[in-house]
Structures are given as structure tokens and as C-alpha cells.
């Protein structure tokens, strides 16, 4: 169990939200809160850096979907970067690779079974 650690950084293109630790039932609320505080202009980009992500459950997925909805409402877009192999597999299984732009960690095996 690793506590969730979030850092936000503004860039010319938008914002980068770095996520480290467990994104789960207990911490999903904080993730949502952090996203809610990010104001984006139309055409800008929210980059969610999952490089430090250690765990993600269905509450985390829900929070991610809610984040996507929020970003789209502002006319902006979202991309997931440095996504760990395990998480990519889950996203693929859930069909979320069809609605999220995902950049996995380079060189990882990300094919789901079946």
C-alpha cells in the first residue's frame, strides 16, 4: 500500500499531473480533486504522467473517466503517459484504449491474455 502523491505543473501546452502511488478506492477522491483544480483553455492538453503509479483499481478507472469528461467539457484533451504495463493491459481489457490516448512505458509487454 503506497500513499498517492500528486504534483501539478503548468506548461505552455496545458498541465502535467504526475501520479505516484496507489490510485484506489481511498485515494481516487484526491485525484478527482486535483483534476478539478486544473483550468484548461480550449485546445490545451492535460498530460497524466503515470510513471510512479503502483496500483490502479476500478475506482481509479472511474476517476480517470471522470477526468476525461471534465477535460472534454473545457474543450481540451487528455493523454496518459509512462503508463505501467499492468495498467495498459487493464485499460486494453476494458476497451479504454479506444477512447484514451495511451503512451506505455517503452519496451513493456502490454498484450492482455486471450
Over the window 42 to 61, marking each residue x when it contacts another protein by CB under 8 A and - when it does not, the resulting string is ---------------xxx-x
From 14-22, 41-49, 62-70, 75-83, span contacting another protein (CB under 8 A) = 62-70
Of 12 and 113, CB closest to another protein: 113
73 binds another protein (CB under 8 A): yes
The x, y and z cell numbers of residue 78, run together, are 487528455
- Sign for the pseudo-dihedral over CA of 86, 87, 93, 97: negative
> Judged by CB under 8 A, which of 5, 69, 101, 108 binds another protein?
69
Instruction: Compute the half-sphere exposure of residue 40: CA atoms within 13 Å on the CB side of its CA.
Output: 29
- Sign for the pseudo-dihedral over CA of 95, 85, 103, 106: negative
Amino acid at each position: 500500500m503506497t500513499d498517492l502523491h500528486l504534483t501539478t505543473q503548468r506548461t505552455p501546452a496545458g498541465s502535467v499531473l504526475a501520479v505516484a502511488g496507489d490510485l484506489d478506492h481511498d485515494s481516487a477522491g484526491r485525484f478527482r480533486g486535483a483534476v478539478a483544480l486544473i483550468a484548461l483553455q480550449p485546445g490545451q492538453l492535460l498530460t497524466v504522467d503515470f510513471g510512479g503509479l503502483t496500483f490502479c483499481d476500478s475506482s481509479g478507472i472511474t476517476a480517470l473517466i471522470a477526468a476525461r469528461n471534465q477535460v472534454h467539457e473545457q474543450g481540451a484533451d487528455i493523454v496518459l503517459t509512462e503508463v505501467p504495463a499492468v495498467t495498459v493491459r487493464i485499460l486494453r481489457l476494458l476497451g479504454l484504449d479506444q477512447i484514451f490516448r495511451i503512451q506505455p512505458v517503452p519496451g513493456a509487454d502490454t498484450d492482455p491474455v486471450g
